Structure 1
């Protein structure tokens, strides 16, 4: 199982990010096929709920953790809000976002396709940066329970070691 890059981001212009849980960036970790990717993530206890892309505006989720599997195509994505960092993503890559980090697609190929998944029982809201509600978002983030498994590596995956809360 590949070891992910782990990145923490401080709050950024109304994006809360997550003060204690890093974003996990797995490179070429899963099959670059939507069905096979969904089967793998589902077998590891996460619920695959949609296939689409990544919004082209900064947004975050304060009520759920999220896995974004790149099933097809390529993209450049900014994580962590305006002051965050840009990452190149390709087929088989997986982003595992704890509740809070901002994410935005900067550019993508015409065939860019993402599989979106969440831990059981967690529902996401699409939230935009807002400095006035930053403290409320941070309070909500602190209440999101840790998942029991990593969508890439299951119960033995890096998430279970790196997200001890």
Structure 2
């Protein structure tokens, strides 16, 4: 399987809402796998993420409230349905997520579902030793959240076998 170059999305910190976001870009891979059989699709995402060192953690939908994880990078593999999502917090950017798509979210990037099919579902995974706490934006806590984001270790690999290290290294160089 050949992995296409991902779309990238840069999201600045939002002082007004307290969402740290990240200097690293969100990576958006479109149509990564065949989605005709949703259960097989979910299992394929889980196997792919595990093979690339991101142990699968759950199958669930995307929360309908803005939140972020300052201590973990996250990958989301959409295996069923579609959703209109927002990245970056309450003042962020909207995008459509469809079955077969993968989002790689750097630590600190806000995300929420604005509208989703009833059957919308994803596989979520994190790099080893990273534990995501669900956090909401708080301007008074922004500096502390930014410090946690900055100290979150760079993953060893891209969860789909793509160019994460090159794309993220360019941003931090």
Confirm whether residue 39 of structure 1 aligns to residue 47 of structure 2: yes
More helix by share: 2
Match of 1:98 in 2: 106
Of 130-139 and 81-90, more deviation after overlay is shown by: 81-90
**Regions of 4+ moved over 4 Å:** none
TM-score of the aligned structures, taking structure 2 as reference length: 0.90
- The separation in 1 between residues aligned to 2:79 and 2:139, in whole angstroms, is 34
Question: Shift of the alpha carbon at 1:36?
Answer: 1.2
Question: Shift of the alpha carbon at 1:47?
Answer: 0.9
- The separation in 2 between residues aligned to 1:65 and 1:48, in whole angstroms, is 13
The CA deviation string for residues 46-105 of structure 1, in whole angstroms up to 9 with x for no partner, is 010000011100000000000011011100100011221101010110000000010000
Q: Secondary structure at the match of 2:99?
A: coil
Pairs aligned (count): 161
Confirm whether residue 162 of structure 1 aligns to residue 167 of structure 2: yes
Confirm whether residue 24 of structure 1 aligns to residue 32 of structure 2: no
Of 23-32 and 99-108, more deviation after overlay is shown by: 23-32
Q: Secondary structure at the match of 1:41?
A: helix
TM-score of the aligned structures, taking structure 1 as reference length: 0.95
- The separation in 2 between residues aligned to 1:105 and 1:85, in whole angstroms, is 12
Question: Shift of the alpha carbon at 1:30?
Answer: 2.9
Match of 2:117 in 1: 109
- The separation in 1 between residues aligned to 2:141 and 2:34, in whole angstroms, is 39
Question: Shift of the alpha carbon at 1:40?
Answer: 1.0
- The separation in 1 between residues aligned to 2:13 and 2:48, in whole angstroms, is 32
- Structure 1's unaligned 5+ residue stretches are none
The Cα RMSD (Å) is 0.9
Question: Shift of the alpha carbon at 1:145?
Answer: 0.6
Q: Superposed, which structure 2 residues align to 1:119-134 within 5 Å? A: 119-134=127-142
Question: Shift of the alpha carbon at 1:150?
Answer: 0.4
Q: Secondary structure at the match of 1:163?
A: helix
Q: Secondary structure at the match of 2:24?
A: coil
